[in-house]
Structure 1
Amino acid sequence: MLYALSENQKIVDAKQATRGKKYLCPGCKNRVTLRQGQAKVPHFAHQKFQCNVFSEGESKEHLHGKNILMKMAQQQYETVELEAYLSDLKQKPDLLINNKIALEFQCSPITVEKMVARSKGYEKKNLRYFWFLGQRHRLKRKMTQQIAQFLHWHPNLGFYLIYVDVERKKLSINYNIQMADFLDVKFRSYETSSFSGLKFLFNQKKLSNYYSLNIRQQSLQMQRLNIGNFKSTGVFRDMQRLTYENGLIFERMIPFLIQKHFAYPIFQQYHFVWLIKKITKQNANEALFQLPFVNLEKILLMFESENKIEYYNSNSRIKVGFDDTRN
């Protein structure tokens, strides 16, 4: 941990602590040892046992990230507690602000179930909570479930993720995140050194809109769909079987499966898989990521409305439209 209590009950930063002095854990009040060296970040560690309140064995990134978040929070808020133990929940957020806001800095993998359980704990205590991400969850070319589970949606920003860049001591946000079949994820980025800078971005007039696919990207989709249809393996074979069982022919549907615009980053399988399952009245939600912080029912209704997606199954016909007049 980065901070401990001095003998006169003052919070002391490990960087400013003095060797030989007595320091106590802010949680369990037991003796801790100051560890300062060139290889590791200065920190305090328990002497003989594992404390149930504060965590040890943290990564350098996690230690630095908590410190960055704490300094940013102290610029704006009166009371900022590091790893304040919430005994009724048996949880300790990385930061607790004014006993109203919990901040979590997630660097390591975490299951959806565990993340939801933590979040529900904060909700039970009427705390607002925010998840900040480390480099392991950095969005690059493809969306994964480990990243998607942290997605939030905002009317001005669309889908977004917030990161702590410990090297540059900044917050970075990827927003207007969108996906298209067989293509890299697209998004915009913004950086700030304060929570007020983050608030400024969220208050900007609508910054999200759909990215269009160019001719080359649409040609790539057509090529990949035709190759998949020819090879007839994996998900393509499944879709061929599903369409055939419902009086459709997958090959004839390919021109209608080419996207004009990128879509919301909610499809764990391909967008065309979700669309075919929707057309054939299957459980299309199986093709979606688990997104605990997103109202998927509302998002899907909005997506279908904005894209004017219509489908019907009659003599192998399919109708899919896109509203090109959308602002």
Structure 2
Amino acid sequence: MAYFKDKLINANNAKKSDNFSCPVCKGKVVLKKGTIMSPHFSHQKNSNCITLIEEGETEEHLLGKQQLYFFTRSNKTLVENYLPEIKQRPDLLYKNLAIEFQCSPININKLEHRIHGYEKQQIKSLWILGSRYKKRFGQPSTNKFYYYFKKLGFTMFFWLTSKNKLEIRYNCRYVYGKIKYQKIEVSSLHELIQFLNNPGMISHDPINIHSLLEEMRKLQNQLFYQNKKALELQNNCYLHGHNINGAPVECHYSHTSNPVLGKEYLVWKIILLNELVDGINYKELLDRTNDICKLKVHYPLINNPQKFILKEYANLLSILSKKGYIRIIGDRIQIIKSLNWFDDYYQKIQKISQCEGAFVDRI
């Protein structure tokens, strides 16, 4: 967008002229309208406009912003509208919703700063990711863009420039250490809102002994190939006289976890049981486990992400209590009977394989 005769004009609709100016710095900008890149305005050399950091955009970003403008289906949507109070310029601004099409890398601190800036202006932000992030789905660099909705669970948004559609990946969860999700594509903001309100059926994952055994084998392989983190956790178990691969079967009673714990869910439960001693404060047990597992929780688009760890913690303590292993008195955990740790991976595999039907019934 640029000013032309005191009116904002979209690069798509603009014609060659020398009278375009930047909406932010009021300096002269040049219309670039060719056959390779999407139409856009560019500052002249030596400009000191604060928005210059965003120039040199990729074709995906330029095209995506134009497509998202039509995605809102409103002529009241503002493109690259500068907000001087917070010195930010969302890709699009629709009413009190800032839409950001994120294609390039952004660190967690800058992301948090941008989100909090919008919040100061009572503006919600919708972060939609490009192809770079789509390829890295499930990795830490992408996980910081998770949303959480009560009806959808953990959710992430991707813009598909080739289809001119928004892909919604929802009900994201880890099952036996592997990420799973449902997805749907929508063509307008109205469709998106309708889906958020009425998502339909949410999938659930049945118990699968073969997947359980595969998850255990992965941990065994990490030790075999001298994985540094796995060895550190194994040494922690040794201090209590346990083998990390001989953890009690109660670790496997819950096989699905949220992305906050992700593929580390099994190890997190093993370490927690390893640190469980009679009379321990239940908050101390959780804090110690999180420290040992080096658990980092950075989800700036989710309100209080720690609650998802607390939920998994409460579920595990509930299992142990129902099975008669512990009782909680005040803020202390009392051990009633000891959990059964196996000598090694092979003993545990043999036991579970022999009692497969009984194991599933116990879960």
Shorter-chain TM-score category?
0.7 to 0.9
2:295 maps to amino acid: A
Identity of aligned residues (%): 29
CA contact (8 A) 1:176 1:207 kept: no
* Structure-2 separation of matches of 1:27 and 1:299: 41
CA contact (8 A) 1:157 1:206 kept: no
CA contact (8 A) 2:155 2:171 kept: yes
Q: Which residue of 2 aligns with 1:149?
A: 144
1:299 paired residue among 308, 331, 334: 308
Q: CA deviation at 1:266?
A: 1.4
Residue range with higher mean Cα deviation, 129-138 or 243-252 = 243-252
Q: Deviations over 1:97-133 (max 9, x none)?
A: 23x2222111111111110011111112221222111
CA contact (8 A) 1:34 1:44 kept: yes
Q: Deviations over 1:250-293 (max 9, x none)?
A: 23216444465332111266212221333313242633442222
* Structure-2 separation of matches of 1:205 and 1:58: 34
TM-score, with structure 2 as normaliser: 0.76
Q: Which residue of 1 aligns with 2:60?
A: 61
Give the unaligned 5+ runs of structure 2: 276-284, 327-334, 342-358
Q: Which residue of 2 aligns with 1:202?
A: 196
CA contact (8 A) 1:226 1:254 kept: no
Residue range with higher mean Cα deviation, 18-27 or 83-92 = 18-27
CA contact (8 A) 2:155 2:172 kept: yes
CA contact (8 A) 1:173 1:190 kept: yes
* Structure-1 separation of matches of 2:232 and 2:88: 44
CA contact (8 A) 1:156 1:207 kept: no
Q: Deviations over 1:285-316 (max 9, x none)?
A: 63344222232232223344567544867755
In the alignment, does 2:223 pair up with 1:244?
no
Q: CA deviation at 1:71?
A: 1.8
1:222 paired residue among 216, 233, 248: 216
- Label 1:168 to 1:259 Cα distance change in 2 as closer, same or farther (>3 A): farther
Q: Which residue of 1 aligns with 2:49?
A: 51
In the alignment, does 2:187 pair up with 1:193?
yes
1:211 paired residue among 205, 227, 230: 205
Structure (1 or 2) with the larger CA radius of gyration:
2
CA contact (8 A) 2:260 2:308 kept: no
Q: Which residue of 2 aligns with 1:162?
A: 157
* Structure-2 separation of matches of 1:81 and 1:325: 57
TM-score, with structure 1 as normaliser: 0.84
Equivalent position SS for 1:138: helix
Equivalent position SS for 1:136: helix
Q: CA deviation at 1:148?
A: 0.7
* Structure-2 separation of matches of 1:30 and 1:205: 46
* Structure-2 separation of matches of 1:23 and 1:144: 42
Equivalent position SS for 1:270: helix
* Structure-1 separation of matches of 2:41 and 2:226: 58
Equivalent position SS for 1:96: strand
2:70 maps to amino acid: K
* Structure-1 separation of matches of 2:182 and 2:2: 39
* Structure-1 separation of matches of 2:88 and 2:173: 34
Q: CA deviation at 1:162?
A: 0.8
2:307 maps to amino acid: K
Equivalent position SS for 2:202: coil
- Label 1:225 to 1:213 Cα distance change in 2 as closer, same or farther (>3 A): farther
Equivalent position SS for 2:171: strand
Q: CA RMSD in A?
A: 3.0
1:36 paired residue among 33, 36, 42: 33
Q: Which residue of 2 aligns with 1:5?
A: 3
Pairs within 5 Å for 1:130-149:
130-138=126-134, 143-149=138-144
Equivalent position SS for 1:156: coil
- Label 1:236 to 1:170 Cα distance change in 2 as closer, same or farther (>3 A): same
Q: Which residue of 2 aligns with 1:83?
A: 80
Q: CA deviation at 1:63?
A: 1.0
Give the unaligned 5+ runs of structure 1: none
- Label 1:323 to 1:215 Cα distance change in 2 as closer, same or farther (>3 A): closer
1:27 maps to amino acid: V
In the alignment, does 2:262 pair up with 1:264?
no
